[in-house]
Amino acid sequence: MYDLIIIGAGPAGTAAGVYAARKRLKTLLITEEFGGQSVVSDVIYNWIGEPEIKGSELAESFKKHLEYYADDDILTLKPRLRANTVEKNDDGTFTVIDSNDETYQTKTVFIATGSVRRKLPAAGADELEHKGLTYCASCDGPLFTGMDVIVVGGGNAGFESAAQLLAYTKSVTLLQRGDEYKADQITVDKVLAHPNMTGILNASTVEVHGDTFVSGLTYLDLSTNEKKKLDAQGIFVEIGQVPNSHIVQELVELNDFKQIVADPYTQRTSIVGVWAAGDVTDVKYHQNNISAGDAVKALEDIYKYLHT
């Protein structure tokens, strides 16, 4: 019987593992890989304490930090393994079943399975990812200083990315597939008022252009059924995220976007004994530093739950 099972080893899972070990909780950490979404980023500029760090290096640092505390009596690591299901037992404890059908018993569970970016369904998008097409303005935006860029997606995330990019790019053009923007009106009005900002409605991206690097895209004007081309050196995609919440979808409360509903004060879910943090939750902002901080908050609460 474990005190705690942590599922995932991105910034939230790693922070949880470190704090669980330091608090001497008998812990099992199950993860398919270390690093979370950041593992695919060429360079990350906003991880506190590192002006620049490659995604692969950040993932390796997460792994090393967890291995530093690895001890079968305290912190057991199960890498390259997927947790398939979490079930609640009659006595209030939990059973976690992995991809090898192995079962583990635990008093508490911490979910840090993250999410995956919804991919741009356009020709050439996959081939040019990390070659001018990116899914994180906060991570990669500074690389496009002085350039013309495009943001695909007219929700709050799209407009917030556009606002960030306007600080250092030459121009930003935002494409929204529908006939109205989905972001808050006050945000729309403020961002579109910038002289270097352009918004285009009824624009469905059909192809991304470029050889070794992005050179632009073609979109379908849904109001005229005409294809139009835009030149740009960078494309930022903000069309939503898909949370990896399926392993607890029958156990805890999810919102309409399938994110785990977590109390921002403690990171507790709707089920006693289960906590969650990071991109799998309904946290307002999705950032590595926020995920790590929320995980620490959760571990403080888990420790109190187990020992008081």
Higher pLDDT, 157 or 21: 21
pLDDT of residue 103: 97
Q: What is the mean pLDDT of the chain?
A: 94
* Residue range 58-67, pLDDT digits in tens: 999 999 999 9
pLDDT of residue 44: 78
* Residue range 219-258, pLDDT digits in tens: 999 999 999 999 999 999 999 889 999 999 999 999 999 9
- Give me the mean pLDDT over the 7-33 stretch: 97
pLDDT at position 40 over 80 = no
* Residue range 193-216, pLDDT digits in tens: 999 999 999 999 999 999 999 999
Rg of the chain's alpha carbons, rounded to an integer? 21
pLDDT of residue 16: 98
pLDDT of residue 38: 78
Give me the percent of the chain exceeding a pLDDT of 90.
84
Categorize the per-residue pLDDT at 42 as very low, low, confident or very high, splitting at 50, 70 and 90.
low
pLDDT of residue 45: 77
pLDDT at position 41 over 80 = no
* Residue range 141-186, pLDDT digits in tens: 889 999 999 999 999 889 989 999 999 999 999 999 999 999 889 9
